[in-house]
Structure 1
Amino acid sequence: MFKTSTDLKDDQHSFSGKPKRNVIVTGFGPFKGHPINASWEAVKLLPKFFNDENTNLIIEEIPVTYNAIEERIPKLWEKYDPIVVIHAGVSSLANDLTIERCAKQRGYNRKDIDGEIPCGEACKFGIEEVLHSSVDVLGLCKKMNDMKSNVKTSISTDAGSYACEYIYYTSLCHGQGRCLFVHIPDLGKPYEAEESAQGLSNILKIVLDQLSPNQVIGNSL
């Protein structure tokens, strides 16, 4: 089941009568050098590939501004209480779907599309120098690369000290580690939007399979 964050209605139970779980996947809007952001192009196609009657899929396009991240990400966590959130962003350095393991609290000295940087070049949420996802990143990456698919994954520990890392740290703070960040290559380098969307769908399915009945994700450290 697919919903945007503005049209999720009273569709909270599956046909079996069990409460549905909410998952959120975000992509970024355009910014300098990326008038079409490969992350949002993939995320907006995700409903074509992900279909789970027990899950409400909520997708959201986030502007490349620190203020938008600070305002919208906490609200998404509060409103939907998602079991997991996956953020996607574009990277010209990526040659595959690159799974980020962690995010830093400081070092945000690059101006966003509004020409702003965070106060003190630090995320306003949290106090830990580095936060790690509690997703089993190693297991996720292995399962992805074992699939008969041309979409491959790798693992990174440097999310880039810009909006991508900022949204990741913000979400890690609010979700107690129940989130993940995936860097997507530029369109056609090597994946088209549909291929990246299929890859994101596979990532989401694997992450959901990792979840225990009490909705705790395994430690990746």
Structure 2
Amino acid sequence: MIQQIQQNILLTGFEPFEQEPLNPSWEAVRALDGWSCQGARVAARQLPCVFGSALQVLDQLIAELKPVLVICVGQAGGRSQLSVERVAINVDDARIADNAGCQPIDQPICSDGPAAYFSTLPIKGVVKAMRAAGIPAEVSQTAGTFVCNHVFYGLMHQLATHAPEVRGGFIHIPYIPSQAARHPGQPSLALETVIGGLRVALQSALTLQQDVIEGGGQLH
């Protein structure tokens, strides 16, 4: 009997940063560790919220797991929906220091890389499927210029140059309620809702061969 090799999905979240007691991206991602989807198994891993080191860890994980899909997840306090990111830009421009005390300003992520990379996820299909499942979701046109964008750009550069057949992308998630209670007026989503949205994203990314064509742009 021939044993079928298990395919891997790499799903990453971040450690806490900016005095937060937790990072909802990691709380959501780790809940899906070991979950099977379309014949592939989720490997949830945590990335440091540190420029440079986060990409070193990510590159090691990709080399080790040889995933068929990579989705990185990060916290975006102030957003009210799951934000499926469209584009990563080649610049680090940190408003605050990372967890190692580094604060790069206007520095390229990759000196010989292109100005930007687009996600290779079916971003509009993912958003449509999330909304159909009752989960607030949107296409986002900016992943910021902090460690989230740093990881998103580094991921897409790594896949473009070494594994172009592998889909990859980034999803930002809001605060969860326990965090929003510490930031009055900020929106939040229940952790269970975020986890459900990530399940939908993984299923869509593995099953949709072509993205859907529908409006997802913004005026401003």
Any conservation in 2 of the 1:125–1:170 contact (CA below 8 Å)?
Answer: no
Deviation at 1:190, TM superposition (A): 3.0
Q: Contact conserved, 1:105 with 1:126, CA < 8 A, in 2?
A: no
Unaligned runs of 5+ in 1: 1-14, 212-216
Q: Summarize the alignment of residues 25-44 of structure 1 with structure 2, pairs less than 5 Å apart.
A: 25-44=11-30
C-alpha distance in structure 2 between counterparts of 1:205 and 1:92, whole Å: 26
Counterpart in 2 of 1:169?
153
CA distance in 1, matches of 2:2, 2:128: 32
136 and 85 in structure 1: CA distance in 2 versus 1, 3 angstrom threshold: same
Q: How many equivalent residue pairs?
A: 199
**Pair 1:153 & 2:133 matched:** no
Write the deviation string for residues 133-175 of structure 1: whole angstroms up to 9, x where unpaired: 122211221122122x2x2210111101001000000000111
Specify the SS of the correspondent of 2:206.
Answer: helix
Question: 1:56 offset after TM fit, Å?
Answer: 2.3
SS at match of 1:208: helix
CA distance in 2, matches of 1:145, 1:102: 21
Identity over aligned residues, as a percent?
24
Matches within 5 A, 1:1-221: 17-47=3-33, 50-52=35-37, 54-110=39-95, 111-118=97-104, 121-124=107-110, 127-147=113-133, 149=134, 151-176=135-160, 178-188=167-177, 189-211=187-209
Contact 2:124 2:212 in 1 (8 A): no
C-alpha spacing 1:16/1:218, structure 2 compared with 1 (3 Å): farther
TM-score norm. by structure 2 comes to 0.81
Q: TM-score, normalised by structure 1?
A: 0.80
Question: Is the contact made by 1:64 and 1:163 (CA closer than 8 Å) also made in structure 2?
Answer: yes
Equivalent pair of 2:82/2:138 in contact (CA under 8 Å): yes
What root-mean-square deviation, in Å, do the aligned CA atoms of Structure 1 and Structure 2 show? 2.6
